[in-house]
Chain A
Amino acid sequence: AQSVAQPEDQVNVAEGNPLTVKCTYSVSGNPYLFWYVQYPNRGLQFLLKYITGDNLVKGSYGFEAEFNKSQTSFHLKKPSALVSDSALYFCAVRDIGGGADGLTFGKGTHLIIQP
């Protein structure tokens, strides 16, 4: 079975500094990886995905993610953080072998950008 780990419950970054939110995965076969963001009392919003191709994936709101097959990681990054980036971030992997391609999610990482 596939799994996703987000090792940090919370990440604190000063506004204007680069940010990284970590994600590692375990899956048999080629991984399909996703990042979602959740603002308070809202649903999840899709940020970006990796299916195949370039290891650096660009997404919404200036976010990007780097796929590293040897380290089984898919870290979310942004060169310059904004206070409005403060939210809960989820990494997810496509379920293989069942669930009609449902997603397996990590526990989420709270990103706090300090002014």
Chain B
Amino acid sequence: NAGVTQTPKFRILKIGQSMTLQCTQDMNHNYMYWYRQDPGMGLKLIYYSVGAGITDKGEVPNGYNVSRSTTEDFPLRLELAAPSQTSVYFCASRSSASSYEQYFGPGTRLTVT
């Protein structure tokens, strides 16, 4: 049972490039989330999904897109990367039957230069 896994661990992008951050969970959780963590700040919610085929925007969705074709996978797409997207990205999941605690992946550290 690997929990929540994320790839890659690190990535450097040039301004204007695109990339997809991968997130997979093996706990059969319905709910999945993407957060970003900036230095000295708490995590901010980018997008979330309540099940396969259903996604919605969080607090800071601009510049990102997501899809949820399976229960396990919740990739985050960055189009036209900008320096403001330099951050650490965390994927999380929770079971709809749980008391709201979320389980986090190890994160992807992204630098846009």
A and B are interacting partners = yes
Do A45 and B42 touch across chains, with their CB atoms under 8 A apart?
no
Do B40 and A107 touch across chains, with their CB atoms under 8 A apart?
yes
Do B100 and A43 touch across chains, with their CB atoms under 8 A apart?
no
Which of A11-19, A66-74, A78-86, A94-102 faces chain B? A94-102
Interface residues on chain A, size class: 20 to 34
Please name all residues of chain B whose beta carbon is closer than 8 Å to the beta carbon of A36 when the two chains form the complex. 104
Given contacts A44-B90, A46-B101, A49-B99, is CB(A102)–CB(B45) below 8 Å? Answer: yes
Residue of B with least CB distance to A102? B45
Residue of A with least CB distance to B99? A51
With both chains docked as a complex, state the minimum distance between the C-beta of A89 and any C-beta of chain B, in angstroms.
11
Please tell me if B74 contacts chain A, counting CB pairs below 8 Å.
no
A interface, CB within 8 angstroms of B: 4, 9, 32, 34, 36, 41-46, 49, 51, 90, 92, 94-95, 99-108
